[in-house]
Amino acid sequence: MKWLKSSFSEASGNACVEVAVMSPGGIALRESDSPAIVLSTSPAALRALLLRVRAGAVESPRP
């Protein structure tokens, strides 16, 4: 898989989310500082999550 980093990632590249296209048609996500942990989802589920985040319907976790 070819992993892509966000254009908003830090210069060091160690604090970002990476995304890759899986076959057939899945999406893989991982954190650059924990690359062994990979989440997989469908494009439709990822789109729904991103739309909710952009709309402010998902809160950030509190420490």
User: Hey, where are the domains in the chain?
Assistant: 4-54
Rounded distance between C-alpha atoms, residue 37 and residue 18, angstroms: 11
**Per-residue pLDDT reduced to its tens digit, 11-62:** 665 678 899 999 889 999 998 888 899 999 999 999 999 899 899 888 877 6
Rounded distance between C-alpha atoms, residue 31 and residue 54, angstroms: 20
pLDDT of 14 reads: 66
**Is residue 1 pLDDT above 90, yes or no?**
no
| 16 within 8 A of 6, measured Cβ to Cβ | yes
- Among 61, 59, 5, 58, which residue's Cα sits nearest to residue 31? 5
The pTM of the full predicted model, rounded to 2 decimals, is 0.74
